[in-house]
Chain A
Amino acid sequence: MKTKYIIIVLFLFAFIINSCDKVSPPFVEGRDYCSGNKKVLLEDYTGHGCNNCPEAAVIAHDLQDFFCERVVIIGVHAGYFAQPYLNGDSLLSADFNTEAGTTWDNYFGVSAQGNPNGLIDRVKGPSGYVISKDSWAKVIDTLLQNNAKAMITINNEFNIDTKILTTSVQTKFTEDVSGNYKLIVCITQDNIIAPQLNKNEEIGPTPMDINYVHNHVLRKAINGAWGESLNGSGTVSANTSYDKTYTQEFVDDWIPKNCHIVAFVYHEDTKTVLQAEELGVLE
């Protein structure tokens, strides 16, 4: 009788022991992401009062490298942690909030779930649109397996004298699609030095890095928070192109050499981004 119990126990422990995968180094995957035409939009919702946000910014940057520059990043400063003079701190005087960023944040409820958090191509999963930084890689990997249903080409002309940018964005669909597709064109800026709370000593001084370098900071959505419709409605056939041109006068804080145009096309109903593209203002 006792032998029977011993056999049961040994069998069940063997069953579990068999459920062990010991991984040997190297632990980092070595996949090739440099082929493929799909690009993914990563919106990193952040704020200078969020001490976990520098880690998310590092992750976003690493993902851009890891996925062979097929990730387009927008740093959206919105919500509680992005308030200027947060908690009365005069060092946190910068205001990177934008009308578009706040509109998106309210619609998708990102900062309401805490910072840092993000949107990836604005896809909606079982728990909603908001995706935590540690799930970004997984979602991006999945999306990059697809072919792009549209290709975006950006041409920028910047007049140094007038400080006026003329950006032309061509969207060419590569597959038949249906629905109302809209184009959003934004300006982002790198290399902005301003104080940022930080808790990771590997990234910079803690608890505040007064010389923190903010990258991909959303400055403005040139054609509005929800952009402009390309096709109105109905279906779009493959190889159909739409050309849009916008002009934007730069304010003094926007350093042209550090600025980029980010353009992305999305489906009006689902908000899902079809394709994204980025080009330096002076490129």
Chain B
Amino acid sequence: MKRLITILIFALLITPFVKGQDFLSKSQVHGSFELDGMYYQADDALGITDSLINGNVFGFNGFADIIYSLGNFSAGFRYEAYLPPIAGFDRNLEGQGFPYLWATYTTEKFSFTVGNFYEQFGNGLTLRTYQEWSLGYDNSINGARVIYEPTRGLIFKGVYGTQRYFWAPFEKNGRGIVKGFDGEINLNDVFGSMADSKIRLILGGSAVSKYQSDQNPMYKMPQNVASFAGRFNLGIGKFNFTSEYAYKINDPSAVNSYIYKPGDALVFTGSYSTKGLGIFAMFKRIDNMSYKSDEAVLSNALDINFLPPIVEPHTYMLAAMYPYATQPNGEMGFQLQINYKIPKKSKLGGKYGMGISVNYSQINDIAREKANDTAYIGQSGTMGWTSDFFKFGDQIFNRDLTIEIDKKFNRRFKSIFKYIYQDYNIATILGHTGEPNVKANIAIVDMTWKFTSKKSIRWELQGLWTSEDKGDWAAALVEYTISPHWFFTIADQYNYGNKHSYEQLHYYTGSFGYTLKTTRFALTYGRQREGVVCVGGVCRQVPASSGFYVTISSSF
């Protein structure tokens, strides 16, 4: 609250420089809020009893983001409340307050921010702070940031501060202090001779360091841990290539079981795009690249960097059952995607054309060898392991083949057909030790029929077939929409292939929603199956639940 008052005082101090009528006419306030509530009910089939609920029948997550701007100045805050957090969110979130307060002043060449801010250097391999409401994740930096753009195409950024850790204030000898610097040059913008070149080149580099005092009694901890990265973005005609390589010095932590080997990461992408055809390829290798501002934290918090995912993100109910979580201690993989649009008026394309998309990704463990003869791989207090940079490990973490066809048959009827094959290492990713990889075939049909310009019905039929984990599933969804205000949905996921008959359950939901301009209200009743929610390779576990779920969101 003190910080909020400080920022408001700062805002008031600059207002005398603005004429009275300008103050009112040029001031702008924007904001958004969302309230999510859950009412739990006992459900014996899911193993949820009244004694397990133990009186905690409500969960509530809510936020309000307010931004004020006046000329070059802007400031804002976010209020958050988790009273208590909805099941599946970190219990440390319980509480309420203003975890995000900031003020920014921007000139032609400079931008100064004090308070909380989000920032990303390159792909995020050395630094990325962001907020993801659906995960309950926020690793914002609280401190200061300066951005300097001396000329078009040249930009420097510097950050300094500590990261958010739920509601815990920063304390001496607590979590670490983060400082970082990033520079980027767009050669086509800076050098006039390259302005009209068909070759477009952007170069960048970043360096980040954290300081955390050595409070670990068992291991000699590096108090300053730095990471560095270099990157480029090269465009040649219809081709585009990007790459970033990052290196981190010894960073023993709870995540890597206190090993002392340096970490590194490489991301490379290549793409080709022309009318009707797009090809995208990506390679990624990570070795010991967890980078947190507290060495002892294991949970989804205090990450300084971000390791981008290379798996097709799935949103359909059954396709999203086995989402991939990035393995920061080591993974190596590639992804290839081809999008092709069969032209209109061709034999296959028909009147409206037809879209085909194929995506394949594979992620393995890295190949690891003993660091020396006297220690096992990954043993605490050692160098951990050695690894051949170009060698894939034997263990498959995830494979995904997705083939999608979207076709509009006439002005009323369109559909999407999807086939997915997944090979999912449930032992590593979900901790189901000893269980074999889940090999699943998934088929999805998604059809939409428009009755009128405002009324439409959409239905999905989905099947997931596997002999591992919980066996086969079937799912169906029907959604009726009256644009722009109403929608009504009923859906069911049925685990008919579960080897335990008592677990052959229906996970049914019914929901409706109403939208008025930027305000949306939705109410859902039903069962939620146990699972995992992932965004960008960062995941949280969701327990099974039953009851009412309400959400209200708005922006202005």
Contacts and interface: CB of A to CB of B under 8 A. Distances in A.
B241 to A, nearest CB: 24
Interface residues of A, number: 44
A28 B91 contact: no
Interface in A182-232: 197-199, 202, 206-208
Interface residues of B, number: 53
A16 B431 contact: no
Contacts of B174: 126
A269 to B, nearest CB: 22
Contact of B431 (A9, A51, A66): A51
A100 B376 CA distance: 39
B180 to A, nearest CB: 7
Interface string A1-34: 0000100110011011101111101111101000
Contacts of B43: none
Given A20-B225, A113-B91, A52 B431 contact: yes
Contacts of A179: none
B549 to A, nearest CB: 21
A9 B252 contact: no
B457 interface: no
Contacts of B298: 132, 134
B156 A137 contact: no
A12 B181 contact: yes
A137 B380 CA distance: 14
Given A66-B218, A202-B376, A5 B207 contact: no
B226 A19 contact: yes
A25 B218 CA distance: 13
A183 B232 CA distance: 65
B209 A16 contact: yes
A20 B209 contact: yes
A142 interface: yes
A135 interface: yes
B166 interface: yes
Given A134-B298, A198-B433, A27 B169 contact: no
Contacts of B258: 27
Contacts of A20: 209, 222, 224-226, 249
Nearest to A135: B296
B217 A206 contact: no
B382 interface: yes
Contacts of A197: 433
Contacts of A135: 254, 296
Interface string B252-288: 1010001010000000000000000000000000000
Contacts of A208: 434
A199 B296 CA distance: 20
B183 A27 contact: no
A137 B434 CA distance: 30
Given A51-B433, A126-B168, A16 B217 contact: no
B201 interface: no
A89 to B, nearest CB: 12
Interface in A59-95: 66, 88
A112 interface: yes
B543 to A, nearest CB: 10
Interface string B174-217: 10000111010000000000000000000001011101000111
B218 A19 contact: no
A173 B431 CA distance: 47
Interface in B215-234: 215-226, 228
B406 to A, nearest CB: 41
A274 interface: no
A19 B252 CA distance: 16
Interface of A: 5, 8-9, 12-13, 15-17, 19-23, 25-29, 31, 51-52, 66, 88, 109, 112-113, 126-128, 132, 134-135, 137-138, 140-142, 197-199, 202, 206-208
9 contacts: A12-B156, A16-B228, A23-B222, A23-B252, A66-B217, A109-B91, A134-B296, A137-B216, A207-B433
